Chains A and B, each alone.
Chain A
Amino acid sequence: MKHGKAKRLLADYAVGRLRGRTKAKIEQHISECPICERELKALQRTEKLLKEVGLLRPSNPQLLLNRVREATQQVRQPSRQTLGWRLSWRWLLKPAIGFAIFSSIAVGAFVFWCQFADKPNLTISYEQYHRLVSWSNPLGNWIETGIGEMSATQ
């Protein structure tokens, strides 16, 4: 393996990311190259430095716990019973969505069918029409047919 490639892969090798032939090749290179060997040791020392840093601590953990307790008392943990009730209704969700989709498709299909289906012949004669109008609004029919005007002139 060439030095440039080995240098690029060194950090991956140090964290154990390399496998198989690449790993063997880089190990071979490190054993022959003092620069890479030194670089690998530097990476290992960096790891040592990082590992000794450890955790940070809040200024007052007990106070923090008290604050958590107060906050959790305000918003209570959902009880198992409440959760059980929620779960017992959850099964209805999917059938309800299915039903809603089916209903909208059915309504859509019905409207579509109404638009294009053969309609019954509703043509009626002039006389039939006036009979209908006179039945629903006698005065209107009277005016519309001109009978009113005729009788006024007479």
Chain B
Amino acid sequence: MARDELPDSVLVAKAKRGDWVAFEQLFWRYHERIYTFIWHFLQNREASEDLTQETFVRAWESLHGLKSNDAFQVWLHQIARRLCLDALRKRAWEKPMSDIATYDDQKVSVGEVETDLEFGLEGKSSPEEIDPEETLFESERKKAVRIAVSKLSQPLREVVVLHYFEGLPVDEISKVLGVPIGTVLSRLARARESLRKLLAHYLDEVENEVNRP
């Protein structure tokens, strides 16, 4: 079994013994998820990269505190979430309230989001990885979805990112957020309802694609 195919629990056990290579494998496995999660909190490339770095540094430092090696992913997200909330609190304290592009009051600086996405931060960023069949329209649509998601309130946005973008099951999301499964499902339902209105224009196109033979 190749090293990168090893389950989390084995890699975490090795990393706990000080094996940096095992920790590197965990980094490669989760850095995009953590970066995506953080980006949807902060909506700023540099700040998100800094916080992703901080998340992995904290994880390395406190790896011995992780009781169940299988729960590494949930634990890593919990660290990232705490750091994001601290950063948002700090940002709210430093900037006057009128200047903040917060999520809670739904004042999102869409321009900043677009600029960040223009940087080629979409999943397939390097030229050789770009699918030639992927049309400009598709990437526009993805961008529109991200902007719509960024307009959601923070509790709704984080469940959407964790469930739809990262593919985390509902029970793991409830552990990350520390809320019951019913609350996660309720937030998902409310989020999807809001997004259905925000993305009304794109839904017809999806329907056409679905109906296409």
Interface SS, B side:
helix
| Distance A51 CA – B188 CA, assembled complex (angstroms) | 13
User: Is the beta-carbon distance between A43 and B53 smaller than 8 angstroms?
Assistant: no
Decide if B49 touches A15 in the complex (CB within 8 Å). Answer: no
How many chain A residues touch B (CB < 8 A): the figure is 38
A47 to B202, CA, bound (A): 12
| Structural contact, A46 and B63, CB atoms closer than 8 A | no
Task: Flag whether A5 is at the interface (Cβ < 8 A).
Answer: no
- Whether the pair A58, B206 counts as a contact (CB closer than 8 A) is no
Distance (whole angstroms) from the CB of B202 to the closest CB of chain A: 6
Query: How many residues of B are in contact with the other chain, CB < 8 A?
Result: 56
Chain A residues in 8 Å Cβ range of B206: 45, 48-49
Question: Is B192 part of the contact surface with A, judged by Cβ < 8 Å?
Answer: yes
- Which B residues are CB-close (under 8 A) to A54? 122-123, 142, 165
Q: Which of A27-35, A76-84, A139-147 contacts B (4 or more CB under 8 A)?
A: A76-84
Asked if B196 and A43 sit within 8 Å, CB to CB, the answer is yes
Max chain A Cβ within 10 angstroms of own Cβ: one of B39, B53, B125, B195: B53
A64 CA to B64 CA in the complex, in Å?
23
A94 interface residue (CB < 8 Å to B):
no
Whole-angstrom distance between the Cβ of A74 and the nearest chain B Cβ: 9
A58 contact set on B, CB distance < 8 A: 31-32, 35, 45, 48-49, 52, 121
When each residue 1-22 of chain A gets 1 if its CB lies under 8 Å from chain B and 0 otherwise, what string results?
0000000000110111100000
Does A65 lie at the interface of the complex (its beta carbon under 8 Å from any beta carbon of B)? yes
Q: B155 contacts the other chain (Cβ, under 8 Å)?
A: no
Residues of chain A with a CB closer than 8 A to B122's CB: 54, 56-57
- Interface flags for B119-145 (1: CB within 8 Å of A; 0: not) read 111110100000000000000011001
Bound complex: CA of A67 vs CA of B46, how far in Å? 13
Chain B contacts for A17, CB-based, 8 A: 182, 185-186, 189
* Cross-interface CB contact of B32 among A52, A53, A56, cutoff 8 Å: A56
Contact (A53, B165) CB under 8 Å given A12-B185, A46-B203: yes
Residues of B within 8 A of A83 (CB): 64
- Is A57 within 8 A of B125, CB to CB? yes
Chain A minimum-CB-distance residue to B189:
A11
Q: Which residues of B contact A (CB under 8 A)?
A: 16-18, 20, 24, 27-28, 31-33, 35-36, 39, 45, 48-49, 52-53, 56-57, 60-61, 63-64, 119-123, 125, 141-142, 145-146, 149, 160, 164-166, 182, 185-186, 188-190, 192-193, 195-196, 199-200, 202-203, 206-207, 210
What are 17 A-B residue pairs whose CB atoms fall within 8 Å in the complex? Answer: A15-B188, A43-B192, A45-B206, A49-B202, A50-B192, A53-B164, A53-B165, A54-B123, A55-B32, A56-B123, A68-B27, A68-B57, A72-B56, A72-B60, A77-B63, A77-B64, A80-B17
Known: A54-B122, A54-B165, A59-B45. 7 other contacts (CB 8 A): A45-B206, A45-B207, A45-B210, A54-B142, A57-B32, A58-B32, A71-B57
